[in-house]
Structure 1
Amino acid sequence: MTLAQRAMEQLEVWPDLSSGPASCGAGRALRTVHSEIVHFHSDHDVDLHLTERAIERFRADLQESTAIRLVAGSRWVTVHLDCDTDVDLLMSLVSMALKAHQTGSSPVGDPARSECNFHRVTVVPR
């Protein structure tokens, strides 16, 4: 079982999340009633939908992690799952994303900012 499969199985049992195809057309997604939160694109790469406010608040910490890739102007962060600790990080970030989206407000404005980072991020193995 890959790290992404293990993470997906753990998250699928969370009561606030349901699974289905990713809106970007690549992989599986986990969503709330308000929005998609997680896209599993490969055995190692996961996009996580945060809000601009959450990304700005935790930007310094996110940039320090070798597992995280940020794309300028995107409301999504890419998490590269390379070890068990990366899965733990993903679980924490999903919890943070759920809290950030609990108001149910959907992104407004530039649609490109609402799209996940699939094909916008190149992850170089560590």
Structure 2
Amino acid sequence: MNSVIFRFTAPYLTSLMLLFSVFVLLRGHNEPGGGFIGGLVAASAIAIYGLAGGVASVRRALYFDPMTLAAVGLIMAVLAGCASFVAGMPFLSGLWSFPAMLDGFAISTPLFFDIGVYLVVLGAVSSIALTLAESEDA
């Protein structure tokens, strides 16, 4: 895209969208949202950044390969489901812990499952978008 305004505002818009995606991820346990929608918002932020600066700038900005993020997310989601086996419960049963140092904030297997889904969606959609953009440039 050749718009100077879009290229200037895209990094700020991307940052806001990534922050909003984390908000949607964390609020998804009690209200609408969660890992899937948060991952889609984050992948949309990466796509906007790619439209403004090109695929090469996105590849430079990402610390990890998108498919690596998807793989880590899949492993995290499966491990969150398997944690219930340790407690003698069925697969994907929710377990909660309330550490005193977190002052009422619960650490739970659904949270880790949602983070895993977030990473899978972010990695897969970003990888698809970047691959399509690279093939279009060639």
Coarse TM-score class (shorter-chain normalised): under 0.3
Structure 1 length-normalised TM: 0.28
Q: Which has the higher helix share?
A: 2
Larger-Rg structure: 2
Q: Which has the higher strand share?
A: 1
Per chain length, whose mean CA-contact separation is higher, i.e. which structure has more relative contact order (CA < 8 Å, sep 6+)? 2
